[in-house]
Amino acid sequence: MSEHFGTLSDGTPVHRWTLERAGTRVRILSYGGIVQSVEVPDRDGRAANVVLGFADLAGYLDRPEPFLGALIGRYANRIAGARFTLDGVTYPLAANNAPNSLHGGPAGFDKVVWGGAQAGPHAVRLSRVSPDGEEGFPGRLEVSAVYSLDASGALRIAYEATTDAPTVVNLTNHSYFNLAGSSVATDHELRVAASRFTPVDATLIPTGELADVTGTRFDFRESRKTGGGYDHNFVLDKGVTGEAVEVAELHDPASGRVLTVSTTEPGLQVYTADHLPAPFVPCAGIALETQHFPDSPNRPEFPGTVLRPGEVYRSETVYGFSAR
């Protein structure tokens, strides 16, 4: 189902799609590719929204920085010094997270209206063309994201992109999950299949080390409470895969709700949202951003994020829901 959701100041209309299947109801906006809500039942069958969002378009326009539920690009996470060099050419970017570039810049994919069309009985396809030079990134990028619900009620997001010139691409979804549907998420239990993580400097740029999680607060190989204080990339043991592989589980003991995360990506950014602005409280949700590593364009030792003409960027992430 598609409906009008609001209008930008320049007159551009924004639409909302509702997908419903197997007890899951998801609402998606053409503005920013935002996942506005995900309603799933608890162990007693009571449904609640388990992602942070706003009731109207004004909420997203007035408070853009949390990136609530948004499709992030061209480059998710941070690029050091707001610049990178590709094939001998240096490309300056906006330092919107000084001194670094964050989530594609101040006018990234999360702040544009995407074209949308039904892609099946339980799917919507969002697409756009990012022109050469948008936010400093080279190449004309044709990009799409298909949001769908499978037979189990899992939300699948499948990304594709092609370019007419060498560029870098790293797309993700920035939903904040609160499986209790209220209060804070610090009592949620998290498991991540990652034996290493990327330590960061004072500006949250990786140092280049792939550090062992053993004996540290970054060891989530066995499920435990998250608490707060995390905004770090975990190096998934599986690496880059052609098919989505389960890499994480988030569990709320109070409601019984369980979220599983499967992905083709090699990294998972765990952000406990310690600095959310009003009307949200700190740690109101947990972002589990499937991704390539932060600052990969400046780190040739990290898995590559370069996309060249004739190649197709593909990435898929699956959010599964259940209760126990």
For residue 281, give every residue at least 6 positions away whose Cβ sits within 8 Å of its Cβ, in sequence order, or none: 184
Tell whether 212 is in a known binding site.
no
In one-letter notation, the amino acid at residue 265 is E
Query: Of residues 134, 289, 292, 316, which has the active-site annotation?
Result: 289
Structure tokens at 251: 């569990």
As a whole number of angstroms, the distance between CA 41 and CA 46 comes to 5
Half-sphere exposure of 287 (CA within 13 A, CB side): 31
Q: Are 307 and 163 in contact (CB under 8 A)?
A: yes
As a whole number of angstroms, the distance between CA 24 and CA 241 comes to 27
With tokens 């690029």, the residue in question is 79
Query: Of residues 174, 188, 232, 251, which has the active-site annotation?
Result: 174
Tell whether 231 is in a known binding site.
yes
φ, ψ at 312 (rounded to 5°)? -125, 120
Half-sphere exposure of 10 (CA within 13 A, CB side): 4
CA-closest candidate to residue 169, choices 106, 236, 109: 109
Tell whether 44 is in a known binding site.
no
Active site residue 289: yes
> Residue 310, Cβ neighbours under 10 Å: how many?
8
Q: Are 191 and 249 in contact (CB under 8 A)?
A: yes
CA-closest candidate to residue 277, choices 101, 94, 52: 52
Report the SS3 class of residue 84: strand
Structure tokens at 226: 């998250």
φ, ψ at 293 (rounded to 5°)? -70, 150
Q: Are 181 and 281 in contact (CB under 8 A)?
A: no
Q: Are 54 and 162 in contact (CB under 8 A)?
A: no
Tell whether 175 is in a known binding site.
yes
Known catalytic residues are 174, 289
Binding-site annotation: residue ranges for beta-D-galactose: 77-78, 174-176, 231
Binding-site annotation: residue ranges: 77-78, 174-176, 231
